[in-house]
Structure formats: structure tokens, C-alpha cells
Amino acid sequence: MVQGNGTTISEFILLGFSEEPELQPIIFGLFLSMYLITVFGNLLIILAVSSDSHLHTPMYFFLSNLSLVDICFTSTTIPKMLWNIHTQSRVITYEGCITQMYFIVLFAVLDDLLLTVMAYDRYVAICHPLYYTVIMNPRVCGLLVLVSWIMSALYSMLQSLLVLRLTFCTCLEVPHFFCELNQMVQLACSDTFLNNMVVYFGIGLLGGGPFVCIIYSYSKIVDSIRRIPTAQGKYKAFSTCASHLSVVSLFYGTSLGVYLSSAATHSSRSTAAASVMYTVVTPMLNPFIYSLRNKDIKGALKRFVGMTGIKGPVVLRMRKCP
């Protein structure tokens, strides 16, 4: 990559949240704690689903994939930020920045698509219960996840290739704690019209499209629940959607808040602070939402913890011979 004055770019500077030295240990401890909680919580969900045969259903198959994506999402940004604070260096290589940006876009879009797939799963389960096992068979479930991965990877690759063609100016300071796509485009001193158009197209297609599908699915779900004659039946049907609906609201609410705050304040530091909500806080809270509001997950976690607890040294009692 060539800089505006003809020199070669080798690195960027991640400004992070604050330049004050006394705040660095606090930021390090806070984000390390949130990262460990995120990894441990989502890993528990994956282990509980894989170890309990009662949870080998489409809903929990998608949930385990979502937990895996959340682990990867946070692992793309937080370890690098913690390393920079530890070494008191804010440098990230050009190759590292492009790679980080690629995986951030990949896992963000994949999160969105998986939430849409989970909404479709709940729609089929409640609106077409007699055909649920036929429609959501293992082949279809695997295909839905595979298509989500392929679409996310292709879109992320397209965005990365468009950034690679840009020429950057002398200011190589990224006012963020990771290489965020919009911030990278704003640093360029070459024409970014194509980049902006692809970003807007991607937001409309891969952001707005899934959101409309989720809204449509839940409108049909609400309509079906209203026609259930008993209150107990209505509660049981709604309880299967409550956790997913909470996660969807948290994901879209925080994402929308980031863009609204950035548009209102025009402050890059404010945008970086707001981005913590959907890049760190949301993946950290997802396991708590599913485990606290879902009896099956809580039961599986108890059984899994019980299984690991009894695995230890076996003591054989030897009876004394007469």
C-alpha cells in the first residue's frame, strides 16, 4: 500500500479510549474481565449443548454456532487492545489492520445472519409445528449455517479488497480500539465513493434485510400465539422465543445506538466507546440471557457441571481378608 506522498505504509496507530496513563490499568482490567466472561460463558453454552442429547435440536444447534461466533468476534479485537496496553504501544501493522477489519466484518455480519436464521427456526416451530421436523431437518440446518458463513465471508472479502485499493494520507491514526471499516475509509485520501456505496448497500442488504425478516417472523409468531386458546399454551410458546427476542433487541439496539451517536456527536472517541456495546457487551450478555431465561440450558449446564465434578480419582475400597 502506498501513502499519499509516495512512501510505503507499514503500520497504523490505534488511539483507543484514552491517552491518560493512570486510566490504562483500569481499562486493561475491565476489558480483560469482560473478555474472560465472554469466552467462558459462550464456551459453557457450546459444551452444554454438545454434551446433552436433549439439546441436539435446530434451535440449540444455531445457538451453539452463535456462541462460537461471539467468541471469535471478541477475540478479533480485545486481545490486540490488551496487548497494546500491556506493551504501551498502539501500533498495528498494515497487514494486521486489514486482517482484523476482515474478521470484524465477517463475524458482525455472521451474527446478524444467525439471529435471522434463529428467528426463522422459531417461526417454523410455532407457526408450523406439525412440519417442524420435516422443514428444519439436519441437512437444512447445516445448509443455513453454511450459507450464512459463505455470504459473510464474501461480503467481508469484498470490503477488504476495496480498502486495499485505497491510498492513505499522512495521518495514520485510527481513533478507535480496533480497525473499524468506516474509520479506515475516512483515513483515505483517494476517492472513496465506491467504498461508501458498497458499505451502504451492505447495510441495506445484510443489515436491513435480515431485520425485516426477523420482524416479519415475529409478526407471524405473535399472530399464532394470539390464537392459542389457553394462557398456559401462550406462555409456553412465547417462552421459547423470549431469549432470542432479547438477544435480537440487544444486538440491533446497540448497533443502531452506535450509528446514531456517531451521526449526532461526530466524535470518533464517542463512537469507539459506543462500539463497545455491540462488540464486547452484547457477546458477553448473550450466554446470561439464554441460561437465565431457558430451563433446558440451565438443566444442561447443571448436568455438565455435575459430570465434570464427579470425574476425579476413583478410590477402590479393599476389604481385609479374614
Per residue, the 3-state secondary structure of the chain, as one string, reads: CEECCCCECCEEEECCCCCCHHHHHHHHHHHHHHHHHHHHHHHHHHHHHHHCHHHCCHHHHHHHHHHHHHHHHHHHHHHHHHHHHHHCCCEEEHHHHHHHHHHHHHHHHHHHHHHHHHHHHHHHHHHCHHHHHHHCCHHHHHHHHHHHHHHHHHHHHHHHHHHHCCCECCCCEECCCCCCHHHHHHHECCCCHHHHHHHHHHHHHHHHHHHHHHHHHHHHHHHHHHCCCCHHHHHHHHHHHHHHHHHHHHHHHHHHHHHHHHHHHCCHHHHHHHHHHHHHHHHHHHHHHHHHCCHHHHHHHHHHHHHHHHCCCCCCCCCCCC
103's grid cell: 474478521
Between residues 32 and 260, the one the model is more confident about: 32
* Spatial separation of the C-alpha atoms in residues 125 and 128, rounded to whole Å: 6
**190 found inside a domain:** yes
Domain assignment present for residue 6? The answer is no
The span from the CA of 175 to the CA of 82, in Å, is: 16
Residue 322: its pLDDT value, please? 42
- Could you tell me which residue, 171 or 147, shows the higher pLDDT? 147
**310 inside domain:** no
Range of the domain at 248: 11-293
* Structural domain includes residue 72: yes
pLDDT value at residue 197: 93
Is there a domain that residue 298 lies in?
no
Residue 141 pLDDT class (50, 70, 90 cuts):
very high
Q: What residues are paired with 8 via a beta bridge?
A: 2
Query: For residues 3 and 200, which has the higher predicted lDDT (pLDDT)?
Result: 200
Span 182-235, pLDDT tens digits: 888 888 888 899 999 999 899 889 888 999 999 999 999 999 999 888 888 888
Higher pLDDT, 6 or 295: 295
pLDDT of residue 96: 93
The total domain count for the chain is: 1
pLDDT band for position 51 (cuts 50, 70, 90): confident
Question: Does some domain include residue 108?
Answer: yes
Mean pLDDT rounded to a whole number for the chain: 85
Extract the C-alpha cell encoding 167. Answer: 491510498
CATH number for the domain harbouring residue 269: 1.20.1070.10
Q: pLDDT tens for residues 234-276?
A: 888 888 888 888 888 888 887 776 666 555 555 566 677 778 8
Confidence band, pLDDT 50/70/90 cuts, at residue 314: very low
2 falls within a domain: no
- Residue 148 CA to residue 156 CA, distance in Å, equals 12
Query: Has residue 95 been placed in a domain?
Result: yes
Please, what's the b/e burial string for 26-62 (b: 16 or more CB within 10 A of its CB; e: otherwise)? ebeeebbebbebbbebbebbbbbbeebeebebbbbbb
Q: What is the mean pLDDT of residues 167-177?
A: 82
Q: Report pLDDT for 318.
A: 42
Q: 179 versus 54: which is more confidently predicted?
A: 179
For 274-292, the pLDDT digits (tens) are 788 888 888 999 888 887 6
